[in-house]
Amino acid sequence: MNAAVLHTLGKPPRCEPFPEPIPGEGEVIVHVRAAALKPVDKQMASGSHYASFRELPVVCGLDGVGNLDDGTRVFFAAPRRPHGAMAQRTVVARPRCWPLPENVDDVSAAAIVNPGVSAWLTLLERAKLAKGDHVLVLGATGTTGRLAVQIAKLLGAGRVVAAGRDESTLNTLHDLGADSTIPLNQPSEKLVDAFTREAGEAGFNVVIDYLWGHPTEAFLSAITGGDFAPSGSIRLVQVGESAGPTISLSAAALRSSGLEIFGSGSGAAPPLDRLLDAYHQVLSRLANGELRIQTESVPLTDVEIAWERESRARLVIIP
């Protein structure tokens, strides 16, 4: 069978033959129909992720959509290494295969489940979003950030401010529910002023941070400066680090602002019942048009080229 095979960390995988998976006890073969190419896939292949591959060669891809031998169409996650989702077939523990509704197509399902469930759980489980909360999304122009804007509104946020680096995408976020936007590619002083202005007197209750690095430092400068005083705590959930892996955090930011910082990742996984509820919520909202995601299908044979591409759409590999 063909698969996206990674031989060297830091290099893109290549489409080439790979041994067929053989299921063990409690495992099933999945005939893959679609597998999204996500930032975490690239991070793991580069060696920069805390869960990066330790043994090579390996097939890339953490999740996808496929059929079981009996024809059941499923979304699957966490194939057994060295097998991955970007292949014609893979092997997965049966409990990690979840049925899909008929009214959601393969590509959209493969594209939305990972970022959509992540955004849903980040807002509901980690940030404890309450109706009426004011929300800031740092990194709102990425796929997960755009979904976070939409989901925050669906969950009852009173106001959603979207901050992002891609201005052309930023200009489209009002249609997805953003009440205001902040372009991040401006001088530090102006960026701090923009955070202060958009916070207003009420401040932000929730900050979902997909960026870290300089944008987060600018936000912390704004809340430390004393120009606005939040009502209650600011719950900042750290999800990604696409703008930098570290920040400079002053003690004053914690003492003067009511700031609380949480992480969202594999170390903060919710109970299975809440994970499954988020899964069903995201797919049902996609099916009825309440959630939107841009996708672009790419054949498995072109995975090496696609790996190096930048796209506003979520790329989905088709074996």
Q: Which two tokens stand for residue 41?
A: 């896939």
Contacts of 118 (CB under 8 A, 6+ apart): 144, 239, 264
Interatomic CA distance for residues 232 and 260, integer angstroms: 11
Q: Which fold has domain 114-267?
A: Quinone Oxidoreductase; Chain A, domain 1 (3.90.180)
Q: Which two tokens stand for residue 182?
A: 């902040």
The answer as to CATH 3.40.50.300 being correct for domain 2-100+294-318 is: no
Residue type, 5: V
Crossing angle of the two packed helices 188-199 and 213-224, in degrees rounded to 10: 60
Per-residue pLDDT, 107:
98
Q: What b/e string do you get for 223-255 counting C-beta neighbours within 10 Å, with b at 16 or more?
A: bbbeebebeeebbbbbbbbbbeeebeeeeebee
Token pair 């060669």 in the structure block, residue: 57
pTM over 0.85: yes
Domain boundary assignment for the chain:
2-100+294-318, 114-267
Give, for all 319 residues of the chain, the pLDDT tens digit: 999 999 999 999 999 999 999 999 999 999 999 999 999 899 888 777 776 677 889 999 999 999 999 999 999 999 999 999 999 999 999 999 999 999 999 999 999 999 999 999 999 999 999 999 999 999 999 999 999 999 999 999 999 999 999 989 999 999 999 999 999 999 999 999 999 999 988 899 999 999 999 999 999 999 885 544 444 689 999 998 888 889 998 888 887 778 899 988 766 677 888 999 999 999 999 999 999 999 999 999 999 999 998 888 999 999 9
Residue 129, judged by CB atoms within 10 A of its CB (0-12, 13-18, 19+), counts as buried
Angle CA 264–265–268, to nearest 5: 75
Q: Note whether 174 and 159 are within 8 A (CB).
A: no
> In sequence order, what are the beta bridge partners of 3?
16, 87
